[in-house]
Amino acid sequence: MKRFILPVVPCLLLTVACGTPEDDPVGTGGDYDEALLEAYLRAIPSASMLEAPVPDSTMSEKGVADVGDPAMFPQHAVPIARNINQTVKALLDTLESVVQYPPSAYNSETREFVWGPFENSASAVEGDTVYLYIRDQGEGADFRYVYAWLRGVSNDVSTMTPVIWGGQNPDPDNEDYGDGVALWDYEANHAWMAEHYPDEPAARGRFVARFARGLSEDNPDHEVTVVVAVFRDFVSEGADPGTEPEDLDYFWGNVFDGANELDFLDLEYQEDLQGTSSSAEEDFGMRLAFYNSGVGRAEADVTGGDLPTDIPGYILESAECWDAALARTYYDVIAVPEDPASEQPEYVVQMEGAAENCALESLDSIPSLDDLDPTFLQALDDLASNGVPQE
C-alpha cells in the first residue's frame, strides 16, 4: 500500500547552510526595547503548538493485525503524523536558528524587525543570501504579527523569494496561547532551486497550517489545541519522474484537563487499496481518537477508485479499537450502499472481537474535517494553492 511520504529534512530543503553567518551572528540591531522584540518573536509558534502527539505502535510482524496484535490504523496514521511533525519542527528550527540572535535592525515606520540579508556561507551559489522579517500589522489585521523567510542571490530584498511565511495573534495574557497560520512554499523554493541549483532535487507543492491554543469556552478548565493543515500538489524530494502530485488534509486536536488528555486526528488522502482490481487510487478518510496516547478508536471510509467496479454501488466503512498498549480489541469492515436510499443491504466483509470491548463506542462526538466551516477550509485551500499572499 502506497504511503504519503513527506520530507524529513533540517532546513526547508534549502540544500545550503541554514544558520547564521560564520562569525558575526546577524547584527547588533541598534537601539530597541527588549520587551518589544519579545512581543514580535511570539509571531513564531512553538513546535508544541503545531506538533501532534501520536500513539506509538509496533508494526505487526504478520502484516495484518488480529485481536491482541498491534492495532492497524495507528500504524497507517502515525507515520504520516510523525513525518508532518518532523517537517514542522525542522522548519521552525530554521527560523529559530536566526531569531535566537539579535536582529540586524528595527524599522519604527514599518514596525518590523529584520535579520539579514546575510550570506549562506556553505552555498555553492555566489551571493546566495537569506533574510527574515517580523512585522507588526496592528490590532485590526487578520494576524497581528507576520513573518517571512526569504532567499536570494544578492542583498536586494525586493528580488528575494519568500519560502516560509506565517502570522500569529498571541494571547496577551498567556505566552503559550494564540492562533496563527504557517505556510511552507515548496513550490517557490523549487523554482528558486531550479534557477540556481538545477542539478539538486527539491520538493514541490505547498503546506499550510492554521492553528490555535487556548482555554475552552465551554469548559474553561480545559486547554484545547487544534491544527488544520493541508498539502497541495505535493511531490517529495527525489521522487521518480512522472510521480503524480498528492493532496493531504489533516485535522488534529488535543483537549487537556490538567491530568488527562484526549487527542483526535482526521486524515483525508488517496492511496491504492490492497485487493482491488487495479492500481487506481481510492479516497481514504481516517479518523482516530485516543486517551493519554493509549486506548482509542479509529474509523475509516474508502470511496472512489476501483470500488465502483469491484463492489458497484458500495463504499467501505471500517472501525478498530485498541487498549492502552495499542493492542487491537475490535475490528470490522462493512460494505455500505453509497446511496443512502438504495435498497442494497449492508454486509460485513470482516469482523474480529466484540464491539463492547471498545472504550469509545463511536467518534460521533469527536470533531472532524466535516464539522469545519467550508469557507474556512476554502481559504486554507486557496492559500495552499496560491502561495504567499501578495503585499
Residue 264 located in a structural domain: yes
- pLDDT, tens digit only, all 391 positions of the chain: 333 333 333 333 333 334 433 443 444 455 678 899 999 999 998 887 888 766 665 433 444 556 778 899 988 887 888 778 877 887 788 788 889 889 999 999 999 999 999 887 767 777 889 899 999 999 889 999 999 999 999 899 999 999 999 999 999 889 889 999 999 999 999 999 899 888 888 889 999 999 999 999 888 999 999 999 999 999 988 888 888 899 999 999 999 999 999 999 999 998 888 777 777 889 999 999 999 888 999 999 999 998 988 999 999 999 999 998 889 999 999 999 999 898 899 999 999 999 998 999 999 999 999 999 999 999 999 999 999 887 6
Residue 28 located in a structural domain: no
Total domain count for the chain? 1
Residue 141 located in a structural domain: yes
43-56 per-position pLDDT tens digit: 998 887 888 766 66
93-112 per-position pLDDT tens digit: 878 888 988 999 999 999 99
Q: How far apart are CA 273 and CA 2, in angstroms?
A: 9
**Residue span of the structural domain in which 267 resides:** 35-386
Task: Pick the closest to residue 18 from 102, 118, 160 (CA basis).
Answer: 118
- Hey, which residues does 270 pair with through a beta bridge? 283
Q: How far apart are CA 112 and CA 327, in angstroms?
A: 52
Residue 30 located in a structural domain: no
Residue 139 located in a structural domain: yes
Residue 4 located in a structural domain: no
Q: How far apart are CA 53 and CA 44, in angstroms?
A: 20
Supply the pTM of this predicted model: 0.85
Residue 203 located in a structural domain: yes
Residue 306 located in a structural domain: yes
Q: How far apart are CA 48 and CA 165, in angstroms?
A: 18
CA dist list (Å): 163 to 79, 184, 207, 245: 25, 6, 11, 19
Long-range contacts, 376-379 (Cβ 8 Å, 24+): 376/210, 376/228, 377/228
3-state secondary structure 247-288: EEEEEEEEEECCCCEEEEEEEEEEECCCCCCCCCCEEEEEEE
DSSP for 298-313, please give it. Answer: EEEEEESTTHHHHSTT
State the pLDDT at residue 123: 73
Q: How far apart are CA 224 and CA 214, in angstroms?
A: 6
